[in-house]
Structure 1
Amino acid sequence: MSHEKAQRFVELHRQGCFLLPNAWDVGSARILESAGFAAVATTSAGVAFSLGRPDHDFFAEAGSAGRVDRETMMHRVREIVDGVGVPVSADLEEGYGAEPQTVATTISMALAAGAAGGNIEDFTGSRAEPLFDEQLAAERIRAARAAADAAGAPFVLIGRTDALLVGGSLAECVRRANAYLAAGADCAFVPGAADAATIATLVRELDGPLNVVMGLTGSTLTMDELRELGVRRVTVGGSIARTMYRHLLDAARELAGQGSFSYAAQQLSQTDLNDLFSARG
């Protein structure tokens, strides 16, 4: 990732509101780029599903079996970075380990892969303690910031709290997100905030810009409405990937159960895809 490209990604977070769609492989990233988006993000869920693996979730209680490892994820990030001409932000889950130094190493690896930004979440994968202790979580963000700064390249660090997703209060979300911003995050991310009242409260209470994720709950809020609420960045998580897999499953069931082919009526043509993927050499 060039310094100029990474700086462009930083500037997107300065003012206004922009949509950062999530890709899971080079093909999906190229399609999003062709639609005119100024940058793309990765989705760890989409990457995992494309490899036939589960996303980071409570299954971690049983160990890491099945989870996409850090090296594999970084390889996919590098493929996407090399495959598009726009900045790429990496979904780095919880940093692939609890210790701040592990998180710092993950950030360094993301930078080496060409990422212009990345998010670190406080979700542990344990039902007994689903979130990292707040002080440790802030230290993890602080270590991530130090690693990014040491590299000398622009890097947008996102501090994500999953408190709402595990039954926590909005007050806890605000407290955690502000701690992460104070520790060096450039933007706070609170998945699960999808209604106007909750989002407005977060915008008002946070000491920095807010990222929200749409497409997870069927929220009817539009980009214009999110912009009016004061949101800085909107992502869509794994929702595009899940939509693609919905169509794949429907097609498989039609073929296996009915022996018919109506699933193909809305397909993109071979020519259209060839033209799209030939657009960049």
Structure 2
Amino acid sequence: MLPTADKRATFKKLHESGCFIIPNPFDVGSAVALQHLGFKALASTSAGFAWTIAKADNRVTVDDVCNHLTAVCAAVDIPVNADYEGGFAVEPDKVAVNVARGVKTGVAGLSIEDSTGDAANPLYEHKLAVERIKAARKAIDADNSGVLLTGRCEAFLWGKQDIKLVIERLQAYSDAGADVLYSPGIKTKEDITAVVKAVAPKPVNLLIGGPGLSLQEVADLGVRRISVGGSLARMAWVGFMKAAKEMAEQGTFAEFANGYSGGELNKMFK
């Protein structure tokens, strides 16, 4: 198994030029499968993982996530970036403690978001949000781990379609020590370009969860990294639910004809 330090060095190098897809596995098996397909790095998905343990997104605990990350990192020889939600705490000092735990799982990077989970007040107050990024940065640097920190602004996901607010926050997170900047929900070329220019030369992650821009088109906009969130997990659930519903509602098994080859899976996991 490749040493953690080597994975972290590889991850850092991936962000220096070009544009790469960092797909989101939801368990150890899907992580190994994605490595088998040739992807250079992976990112966890809070939603996709939560569904595997029968929880809704944003309902997992720091223990749940750290155990999951440890297992995934141990199973692959490529870097893993952690969707670390909001650090599983509000106060910066508690975020720092949890980030230190996350670093010990073997991840090469992790993200901290600014959403509160409260629809009435969806984003942490600006100053507090910045302090949380600073705390994460300090925790990462405490042992010279080399873990990349991604600062996330969740405004668009919570209905605040204000690109100026997003840019203001991402710039502040950059100044606070974030290595990569990310605002899930931005989709237009104009907004993507505006974010890339605003935080340059630091790299930007773009979430793509459906048909739209291609890898090449995104690369042309200056984006460095593309993640897909819970999309692969949702695709896996499509096949499962179609077959299960057919059995439950019709008592037939036709969907099994579309199943992936067990032999191929055994070859991949041997």
2:76 to 81, 84, 97: 84
- Distance, in Å, in 2 between the alignment partners of 1:249 and 1:267 is 12
Q: Within the alignment, does 1:211 sit opposite 2:205 as a pair?
A: yes
AA of the residue aligned to 1:30: V
- Map Cα deviations across residues 70-119 of structure 1 (whole Å, 9 max, x no partner): 01110010000011111111110000011111111121111111111000
Counterpart position of 1:187: 180
Aligned letter for 2:259? Answer: Q
5+ residue gaps, structure 1: 57-66
SS at match of 1:24: coil
Aligned amino acid, residue 145 of structure 1: R
Does residue 95 of the first structure (1) align with residue 87 of the second (2)? yes
Aligned residues: 266
- Partner residue, 1:22: 24
Pick aligned residue for 1:31 from 13, 30, 33: 33
Q: Is the 8 A contact 1:18 1:232 kept in 2?
A: yes
| Structure-to-structure mapping, 1:1-281, within 5 angstroms | 2-56=4-58, 67-168=59-160, 169-207=162-200, 208-215=202-209, 218-278=210-270
Look up the SS of the partner of 2:267 in the other structure: helix
RMSD, aligned α-carbons: 1.1
Normalising by structure 1, report the TM-score.
Answer: 0.92
Quote the Cα distance in structure 1 between the aligned partners of 2:118 and 2:94: 18
Could you tell me how far 1:205 is from its partner in structure 2? Answer: 2.1
Whole-angstrom CA distance in 1 between matches of 2:6 and 2:249: 52
The superposition leaves residues 211-258 of structure 1 with CA deviations (integer Å, 9 ceiling, x where unpaired) of: 11001xx34100000000110110000010011112211111111112
Q: For 1:159-206, what per-residue CA distance to the aligned partner results, in whole angstroms no more than 9, with x for missing partners?
A: 000011112211000000110011000011110012222211211222
Please say which of residues 70-79 and 101-110 is displaced more in the overlay: 101-110
Report the alpha carbon displacement of residue 146 of structure 1 after superposing the two structures with TM: 0.7
Whichever residue aligns with residue 172 of structure 1, its letter is L
C-alpha distance in 2 between matches for 1:89 and 1:209: 14
Percent sequence identity over aligned pairs: 40
TM-score between the two structures when normalised by the length of structure 2: 0.96
SS of the aligned residue for 1:23 comes to: coil
* Cα distance in 1 between the residues matched to 2:99 and 2:52: 23
**Alpha-carbon separation, structure 2, partners of 1:265 and 1:197:** 44
Q: Distance in 1 between matches of 2:94 and 2:26?
A: 24
Give the letter aligned to residue 66 of structure 2: M
- Matched-pair contact (CA < 8 Å) for 1:108–1:151: no
